[in-house]
């Protein structure tokens, strides 16, 4: 998943970025409202982790703006401990969840997975496409219960495709989903990941749609 982190505390922001990366996500992080606005307008994030007290405004105002504009990205608010009013206001403004500081990174990861799962209309935490099963929490993949060992990027590419089987994901959409701003992306990086995924999962699972991108074969859904 690609996640936007809006947090002005440097230590916390770095910790969040590293923790999310360890969980297999790609995190872009900003510390001001103005940058958060620009980031959210430029990319459809899977989820946003939003601090409230920011140097150039309030995260609650940002949230209000986004919801007014019709932006439906799941938002998890980071609130100060005991700030019940912030939580109530945030939830009423359209936040999907909150965590009080200090929080546990493991809990944050689990809450984000739950948010994205519900956003996709799924209650079941595991993704199943035919014989393929993906467990986003444990980052495990299996085919007919046989475990498959994937790298972080391979897992991320597979997750993008498996969340919407039968739908085409363009190369640039896959790149955007798995690489953050600061990362150098080789011109054939996606092709390389797809090639490795096919070698590990079987050649039939992922189809190339010439000129458009890739998709999980519909036959694999049956
Ligand atoms: Ca703050």
- The CA 65 to ligand 1 mean position distance, Å, reads 19
- The CA 31 to ligand 1 mean position distance, Å, reads 8
Burial (CB < 10 A; 0-12, 13-18, 19+), residue 146, is exposed
- The CA 186 to ligand 1 mean position distance, Å, reads 35
In CATH, the number for domain 127-220 is: 1.10.10.10
- The CA 33 to ligand 1 mean position distance, Å, reads 11
Q: Is 199 helix (H, G, I), strand (E, B) or coil?
A: helix
Q: Is the preceding omega at residue 184 within 30 degrees of 0, hence cis?
A: no
Closest CA to 188 of 167, 202, 206, 171: 171
- The CA 111 to ligand 1 mean position distance, Å, reads 20
Do 2-119 and 127-220 have matching folds?
Answer: no
Buried b (16+ CB within 10 A) or exposed e, 200-217: bbeeebbbeeeeebbbbb
Supply the pLDDT for residue 222.
42
- The CA 12 to ligand 1 mean position distance, Å, reads 9
What gap in Å lies between CA 70 and CA 127, rounded to an integer? 27
- The CA 70 to ligand 1 mean position distance, Å, reads 25
- The CA 57 to ligand 1 mean position distance, Å, reads 10
Domain ranges for the chain, please list them. Answer: 2-119, 127-220
Q: What are phi and psi of 151, to 5 degrees?
A: -75, 170
Q: What are phi and psi of 75, to 5 degrees?
A: -120, 130
Show Cβ contacts of residue 138 under 8 Å, excluding neighbours closer than 6 positions: none
One pLDDT digit (tens) per residue for the chain, 222 residues: 899 999 999 999 999 998 998 888 889 999 999 999 999 998 889 999 999 999 999 999 999 999 999 998 999 999 987 789 999 999 999 999 999 999 999 999 999 999 988 887 777 788 888 889 999 888 899 998 899 999 989 999 999 999 888 899 999 889 988 888 878 888 889 999 999 999 999 888 999 999 899 999 866 444
- The CA 118 to ligand 1 mean position distance, Å, reads 27
Q: Is 59 helix (H, G, I), strand (E, B) or coil?
A: helix
- The CA 92 to ligand 1 mean position distance, Å, reads 20
Strand partners, 158: none
In CATH, the number for domain 2-119 is: 3.40.50.2300
Closest CA to 220 of 155, 133, 157: 133
């Amino acid at each position: 998943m690609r996640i936007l982190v809006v947090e002005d505390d440097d230590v916390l922001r770095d910790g969040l970025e590293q923790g999310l990366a360890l969980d297999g996500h790609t995190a872009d992080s900003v510390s001001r409202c103005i940058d958060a606005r620009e980031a959210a307008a430029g990319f459809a994030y899977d989820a946003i982790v939003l601090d409230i007290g920011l140097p150039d405004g309030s995260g609650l105002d940002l949230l209000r703006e986004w919801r007014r504009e019709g932006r439906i990205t799941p938002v998890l608010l980071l609130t100060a401990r005991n700030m019940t009013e912030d939580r109530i206001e945030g939830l009423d403004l359209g936040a999907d969840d909150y965590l009080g500081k200090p929080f546990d990174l493991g809990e944050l990861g689990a809450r984000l997975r739950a948010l994205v799962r519900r956003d996709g209309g799924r209650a079941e935490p595991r993704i199943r496409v035919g014989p393929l099963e993906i467990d986003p929490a444990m980052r495990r993949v299996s085919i007919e219960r046989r475990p498959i060992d994937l790298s972080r990027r391979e897992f991320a590419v597979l997750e993008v495709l498996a969340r919407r089987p039968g739908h085409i994901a363009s190369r640039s959409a896959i790149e955007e989903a798995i690489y953050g701003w600061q990362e150098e992306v080789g011109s054939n990086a996606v092709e390389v990941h797809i090639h490795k995924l096919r070698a590990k999962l079987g050649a039939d699972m992922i189809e190339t749609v010439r000129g458009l991108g890739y998709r999980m074969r519909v036959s694999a859904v049956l």
